[in-house]
Each structure stands twice: as structure tokens, then as C-alpha cells.
Amino acid sequence: MANQYFHQIHPIKIMFVFPGVYPWKISPNGLYYKFHFIAESASILFASFVSGGIDCLFTLYIFQINGHLRDISYRITHTNDKTNHKKMIRECILQHEMLMQCRDIL
């Protein structure tokens, strides 16, 4: 629309954010046009927020799973004579099973 104005093209053809055909007549700068323009602009904004948030959340979950696996690795490799090996191995296996269930959910 701004490009048409600067190049002095008249009449200015009003465009929507998403090109489409609707079963009702939409007059330029009318109430239907304003409603459609606001709805389409809001849907783009909300879709970008949701997709960006989900991408960040997935990265956070993977980072947390990686931290738990490093903790398990550290506990297995750094044992001493005072630790109860059977109990420690059992805890590590249970934690690993829980992480695999979380992985399957993701």
C-alpha cells in the first residue's frame, strides 16, 4: 500500500496480510477490512511468539537432560570406598530410566 502511494498509483488497492478470498464483500477502509487486518496481524504475532517459545522450551529440556546424564556419569566414575555401590548404581539406573521416559515424551 505504501509502495502504491509513493509511486502515485490510483486507486490504491488495499491488501491483506494473508491474501485470500472471502465470501463477503470487503470495502477498502471499511469495518470488515479493519477487522480482518487486525485479526490477521494478531495471528502472525501470536504464531511467532508460540513457535519461538516452544523452540526455547525444547532447548531447555534437552539442556536439562544433558545435565542429568553428566551427573549420572560423574557419580559412576567418581566413587570411593565409603559409597554403597549397589545403592548408587540403583539410583543412577532409576534416574536414567526416568530420563528415557522424558525423552520419549519429547
Domains in the chain: how many in total? 1
DSSP label of 30:
S
Domain range for 68 is 2-105
pTM above 0.85, yes or no: no
- DSSP one-letter string for 6-24: HTT-SSPPP--SS----SS
pLDDT of residue 43: 92
Give the three-class secondary structure for 80: coil
**Which of 19-23, 79-83, 88-92 is modeled with the greatest confidence?**
88-92
Environment class of 37 (CB within 10 Å of its CB; exposed 0-12, middle 13-18, buried 19+):
middle
pLDDT of residue 32 exceeding 90 = no
CA angle 78, 82, 84 (to 5 degrees): 80
